[in-house]
Structure 1
Amino acid sequence: MENEHVITILYPTTYNQSNDIVFQGHTDSVTSLSYNDQLEHVVSVSCDQTLRVWSLKTREQIGITSKHATQLNSVNIDSNGLNIISSGMDFRTCLFDYETLKLKFVLLNGGAVTDHSITKDGNCLVCVTDISCQMNLWDLRWRKKVFSIPDIHKNTPTCCLFTPNENCVVTTSTDGSTKCTDLRSLKTLLTLRDHRNAVSSAAIARDGKLLVTTSWDKAVHLYDIETGNYRREGPQILADGHTGSISSCDIDDNGIYLATGGHDKCVILWDTEKKEVKLCLKRHTDWINDVYMTKDGKWILTASKVDPIINTNVLGQTDKVMEYGSD
């Protein structure tokens, strides 16, 4: 599969490569992906300028659209299962009908969109842009920009996400900082500068007690938001996992299991309570662009620069460190 841009569904419960499911379609690097809540479909976007929908039941591509003029960087399915939202380097955020992939409308941002996030009800969207370093909040019901904050970071924002109560937005940046911005006052409530290089992504547990950040410095930082101990002692650092820059992370709803992917071609599942590696997957042949976990923590979906998106069943595989490679 080397040099093929494919989607692979992987079931490593038995660690048998014959259980892989391969979806071929993308012709360039896969940059972002998402599940629907019913685990029926996977949506992916790519540098090939396409958005594709895949069926987990039939193991086939069931939809494709190409309404962006350049590479796409971010994609989500809203929790209502009504819309798919994609953003790209062409400054545009597109909203598609989930069933038909018909383009409903386009939002124009002030720069290339590096990431976006939507609220649970699907009514609001936040996105961040390259170069201009803007953070824009949109009301999707009225197709209207609520506000725009310029220079949210000094350099390219890499990630944005709503806090669980949706009162704030957390952003990360290549300037090495992580910020939390209040959506009512538009003030920065928190700025973290503990990483030694660009901060690539962030994740927050559903209860809002744990904030996770990843970086090109190869480290994962855990911030206990509930106690605020990080203010005195700094974050807890998970450093004995990746050997290259970490590009993405996601956490399960319980805030226990954390998935990370990086330029070392590895996907690592961490136990955030024990602060240890529980699972290491080595199936990719190039760096990993995106990692996504299902809410129940049973599955990990990953997107690679060159070849697979891999959907991994991790249920029952957390008693000891497992390594799954191509051997």
Structure 2
Amino acid sequence: MTEVANLDFDPLALEVTNELNNESRSKTGTWEHEDLAQVRYKVLRGHKDGINSCQFCVNDTRILTASDDKTCSLWNVETGDREEKYEGHPSCITQCHMSPDGSKFVSSCWDKRIRVWDVETGEALWTGLQGGIGTCCQFSHNGKLIASGTDLDNCLNIWDVENGQIIQSAKKHHGSSITSCKFSPDDSRVCTTSMDKITKLWDVASKNVTIKLGGHINIVSCCCFNKDERRLCTGSWDKQLQVWDVSTGTYRSEGPVTFSKGHEGSISACKFSSDGSMLISGSYDQTVVVWDAENCGPKLTLKGHTDWVTDVDITQDMKWILSGSRDHTIRLWNIENSDNIPVVLENKKSMGLKIVKCNDCGKPFSISQLDDPQELKMCVFCRLQANRPLLNLSIEEDLNMPEF
């Protein structure tokens, strides 16, 4: 094989070639990759319109998707086959999300309703009516609550999974459409993003907004927490990701850490890896970018979708990335050996990085080749935690802080 260094094209440009015959295109789950491609990927076909959301579920053995074709689908990761198709919504399904136990999932729709489905039977367990078009929905990590956001009335609703009743409703929660909602890892807060360029954290216990973030200059489209809840990432149509330290309160004085120069188009989705070392994002520019979360730089760009990438996910073992697109397809990308890809090694080299382990949390992090690993024994987040006490501001004091 010709050495990658001598190639005059991007070895990571994994576009489907004309060499693929019609038979291979008609099958779901077919491996499609150029001979010299460094990352293999699998294409799942079956939806008849754009994909709006995709999620690994059931211990990463299944994929749940929602589409503008008015259906949700459950796919087998190993075979790539669609196992179930769920029909019942009368219009575009904006998002779906699996319960932690894998027995049911929730979907939101343009018909102003959210629906909770029984995975096995495909029947609706209950349907809830909202005051506006459903834009997003998510199960809490304990499976007891559902959060949903709307357009028109810009409302955040919290639902009781058991009886399908709204138990909290924050009307006019934002000044414009809510674009995403995410429970924090401990389910104590719900983060919402909006077309009003603002991100808010809603406290479930006190039923109030406790944090308001305003760092983006365009629509904030997505958000995600890392596993220990120390970092909150927001993605925007301003083509940037911003990472906020919402545990120590340093965002108030220092603002967010900005990830830029990775996408050429509006960012639509983001997701932290299980250990927080990587951040995955999808964009209108039809690419998926894998970021070094510690050093705020892009590690790898995955190309191949032919339309807007609307959602992304990553397995717990960090070997597979999932992406859904307006091109009607879902793609599985195998990145388990990506650290050995020449372009990734070159990116690390250009940043002058070496890897050491944090003495506090035990997680690996990168430092400059010029830094002494004996002096830098803790990652930046553990250093912030050690040097700055947790701020115990009241809700009123917090809301009066200036926006960033």
User: Does the pair score TM above 0.5?
Assistant: yes
Q: Which residue of 2 aligns with 1:139?
A: 160
Whole-angstrom distance in 2 between the partners of 1:6 and 1:153: 43
The separation in 2 between residues aligned to 1:126 and 1:214, in whole angstroms, is: 19
Cα deviation, 1:109-160, whole Å, max 9, x if unaligned, reads: 1111111111122111010001110111100112211021101100011010
Distance across 2 between alignment mates of 1:174 and 1:196 = 10
Q: 1:41 to 1:152 in 2, by over 3 A?
A: same
Q: Deviations over 1:305-326 (max 9, x none)?
A: 1142111122231356459xxx
Q: Does 1:128 align with 2:145?
A: no
1:219 aligns with 2:240: yes
Q: Secondary structure at 2:282's aligned position in 1?
A: strand
- Structure 1 residue 47 and structure 2 residue 68: aligned? yes
Partner residue in 2 for 1:34: 55
Residue 295 (structure 1) aligns with: 316
Amino acid aligned to 1:164: P
Equivalent pair of 2:29/2:80 in contact (CA under 8 Å): no
Question: Is 1:206 aligned to 2:227, yes or no?
Answer: yes
Larger Rg: 2
Amino acid at match of 1:54: W
Is the counterpart of residue 245 in structure 1 residue 266 in structure 2?
Answer: yes
Letter in 2 for 1:309: I
Deviation string for 1:252-290 (max 9, x for gaps)? 122221100001111000111121111100111111111
Equivalent AA in structure 2 for residue 250 of structure 1: K
- Verify: 1:254 aligned to 2:275, yes or no: yes
Structure 1 Cα separation of the partners of residues 121 and 207 of structure 2: 37
Write the distance in 2 (CA, Å) between the matches of 1:75 and 1:272: 27
Quote how far apart the aligned CAs of 1:184 are: 1.7
1:266 corresponding residue in structure 2: 287
* Amino acid paired to 1:281: L
- In 2, distance between residues paired with 1:190 and 1:291? 26
Alpha-carbon distance between aligned partners in 2 of 1:129 and 1:78, rounded to the nearest angstrom: 20
Describe the SS at the equivalent of 2:291.
strand
**Native 8 Å contact 1:301 1:311 kept in 2:** yes
Distance 1:9 1:96, change over 3 A: farther
Give the number of aligned pairs.
322
User: What percent of counterpart residues are identical?
Assistant: 31
Moved more, 214-223 or 94-103: 94-103
Alignment of 1:172-187 (within 5 A): 172-187=193-208
- Between 1:94-103 and 1:166-175, the stretch displaced more is 94-103
Aligned residue number for residue 69 of structure 1: 90
Quick check: which one's strand share is greater? 1
Question: Residue 338 of structure 2 aligns to a residue in which SS?
Answer: coil
SS at structure 1 position matched to 2:95: strand
Cα distance in 2 for partners of 1:200, 1:34 equals 17
Distance 1:210 1:17, change over 3 A: closer
> Considering only aligned residues, what root-mean-square deviation do their CA atoms show, in Å?
2.5
> Which segments of 5 or more consecutive residues in structure 2 lack a partner in the other structure?
1-15, 18-24, 346-404
- Which whole-Å deviations, capped at 9, do the CAs of 1:162-217 have from their partners, x for residues lacking one? 11111111000011000011112221111111101000100101101111011000
Aligned-partner residue type, residue 204 of structure 1: F
Distance 1:119 1:265 in 2: 30
Of the three residues 283, 298, 318, the one matched with 2:339 is 318
Q: Could you say what secondary structure the match of 1:212 adopts? A: strand
| Cα 1:204/1:5, change in 2 over 3 Å | farther
**TM-score, normalization: structure 1?**
0.91
The normalised TM-score by structure 2 is 0.75
SS of the residue aligned with 1:231? helix
Amino acid in the other structure paired with 1:233: E
Q: Distance in 1 between matches of 2:111 and 2:284?
A: 25
Bigger helix fraction: 2
